[in-house]
Structure 1
Amino acid sequence: MYPTIIDFGHVGNFGPIGIHSYGLMLATAFITSTFVIQHELKRRGFVSDVAGTIAIAAAAGGIVGAKIYAALLDGEFTLEELFSTSGLVWYGGFIGGCLGVYIVVHLSPNPTLATIDIIGPTLLLGYGIGRIGCLLAGDGDYGPPSDLPWAMAFPNGTVPTDVPVHPTPIYETLVSFTFFGILWSQRRKLEDIPGVLFGASLILLGVERFFMEFWRTTPRVWGWMTGAQLFSIVAFIVGIVLIFWARSRPPIEAAAAVVETEVEPTKQASPPRKRRRRR
């Protein structure tokens, strides 16, 4: 594959500099998700300028979260590691990104739950785009050896292999895009119950990652399950709890209807006053 698209070589004291396929696709994922979020914020009449801040918070929180999680696994953490391109553990980045985004959304003038619902489907969109970067980089996210017609080898990858293997990033991209399409097509039906769309996004994200781990060579940490599978179970449960909690609250339309029925009788109970004739 192509882990480095353009290599500028050593530049001064900065060391080797280049445009890497994984970083490029990660940037593409953030930019694409930002445009989608901005479009939806405008459509729903919310402040759309916050979309860029959301993307920055997601990127910064994701990098810091991934680095901290990797440091906890390795038992060491340095400032040099914080600015390196290694150690980007996905679920650590997901937690850090979610925290950063929540802070920004909570401080914005937009309603928190409704805005998070808009962000939810873009998790799957961005994840699918990011997996294209994993495929191009050949970073070891591929699966076990396979003799299927579409099996691929990664002799020039970041984690090279000459043996044809399952191109798991392709599977993940296709499934993520499919799930995004389902959520995107149903978003208007679900937006009257804030929290449901984000909960559904967590469920589908958990389902996708849980089953895709069977086609990856990730080390098992608890029985037959990987760390990502354990995290996926947590995401699945949180998504279900969020949906049940959101559905227990009165929907927007129902609340508006209650307000109208309370206001209308008051209007009808006070007939217009008759004017006195001047004599």
Structure 2
Amino acid sequence: MFNDWFKIGPITVHGYGFMIAVGILFAFWLSERLAKKQGLEYEKIDGMIFFIIIFGFIGAKLLYIATVWDTFLKNPVVILSNEGFVVYGGIIAGIIAAWIYCKWKKWDFMRYANVLMPAVSLGQGFGRIGCFFAGCCYGIQTTAWYGVEFPAESLGPGAGIKVIPTELISSAGNFLIFAFLLRNLLKGKHPEDTAAWYLVLYGLGRFLVEFLRGDLIRGQIWIFSTSQFISIFVFLAGAFLLWYRQNHSDLKKEVAA
């Protein structure tokens, strides 16, 4: 909405970048706390989180480039822009990075995934608030009372156009997912299902929110947006993990160990 907050000398502090930073810091802090509670090597988790963040940013940028491939071919400099990230690219790359790191350290990947996913949801909640400040990821036009207008200089659709604030809807959804995952991990009957529940809930939520999105540069696969298409497989992967855990007691024992 108002992305340029204030200046520190020649540096402008943007709302988008600030909220991303806040999300990362909170996710970092929460991951350590949860790892300690779960009896994991929380003192050594910093390296994995840093690894995940680097891979996440690269993955988010690469998936964005894939959705605007024609534009990228005409103007490759787009890769240097501080705008243009697709969350799913970051999530997928981050999961791969976590798996690689756990294999390297000989850690139980699923135990760490169950700890990290509540933190990921928390970070995403703050990140989507950042999207709102920047004006990106906006919704379809509306005349309803809850519609918002973005300044002409923002990444929104333009001055005078009211749209659904899908960024705030996504943020609220992520915070709700965070609350559910945190409770499941700390007090639920099956804390070993936490990572799987993240895939199910985020996949479903993202699929539905995409119907309300109005920004055009999102890519399309068949009748779905790129993120909707990916959401189908994310949801199915989570559902499969839940089913598999419930029907294979050996996995339950391994993950809950």
Normalised TM-score (structure 2): 0.85
Q: How many residues are matched?
A: 248
Q: Which amino acid aligns with 1:182?
A: F
Q: 1:105/1:31 Cα in 2 relative to 1: closer, same or farther (>3 Å)?
A: farther
Cα offsets for 1:181-214 (capped at 9, x unmatched): 11211213558664x2111100101011011111
**Residue 151 of structure 1 aligns with which residue?**
147
**Residue 263 of structure 1 aligns with which residue?**
none
**Residue 167 of structure 1 aligns with which residue?**
165
Q: Which amino acid aligns with 1:31?
A: L
What is the SS of the residue equivalent to 2:138? Answer: coil
Cα offset, 1:30, TM superposition: 1.1
Cα offset, 1:218, TM superposition: 4.2
Kept in 2, the 8 Å contact 1:143–1:215? The answer is yes
Kept in 2, the 8 Å contact 1:105–1:112? The answer is yes
Q: 1:99/1:30 Cα in 2 relative to 1: closer, same or farther (>3 Å)?
A: same
Kept in 1, the 8 Å contact 2:138–2:215? The answer is no
Q: Which amino acid aligns with 1:205?
A: Y
Deviates more, 1:235-244 or 1:141-150: 141-150
**Residue 118 of structure 1 aligns with which residue?**
115
Which whole-Å CA distance do the structure 2 matches of 1:191 and 1:80 have between them? 50
**Percentage of identical aligned residues:** 25
Q: RCO higher in 1 or 2 (8 Å CA, sep ≥ 6)? A: 2
What is the SS of the residue equivalent to 1:5? Answer: strand
Cα RMSD for the two superposed structures = 2.7
Match status 1:58 vs 2:55: no
Kept in 1, the 8 Å contact 2:149–2:163? The answer is yes
Which whole-Å CA distance do the structure 2 matches of 1:177 and 1:21 have between them? 19
Cα offset, 1:58, TM superposition: 2.1
Cα offset, 1:145, TM superposition: 1.8
The correspondence of residues 83-232 of structure 1 with structure 2, limited to 5 A, is 83-108=80-105, 110-139=107-136, 141-155=137-151, 156-159=153-156, 160-189=158-187, 194=192, 196-219=193-216, 221-232=220-231
Cα offset, 1:8, TM superposition: 5.7
Q: Which amino acid aligns with 2:177?
A: F
Task: List runs of 5+ in structure 1 lacking aligned partners.
Answer: 12-16, 257-279
Deviates more, 1:102-111 or 1:126-135: 102-111
Kept in 2, the 8 Å contact 1:2–1:136? The answer is yes
Task: List runs of 5+ in structure 2 lacking aligned partners.
Answer: none
Cα offset, 1:170, TM superposition: 1.1
Which whole-Å CA distance do the structure 1 matches of 2:44 and 2:76 have between them? 30
Q: Which structure would you say has the larger Rg?
A: 1
What is the SS of the residue equivalent to 1:49? Answer: helix
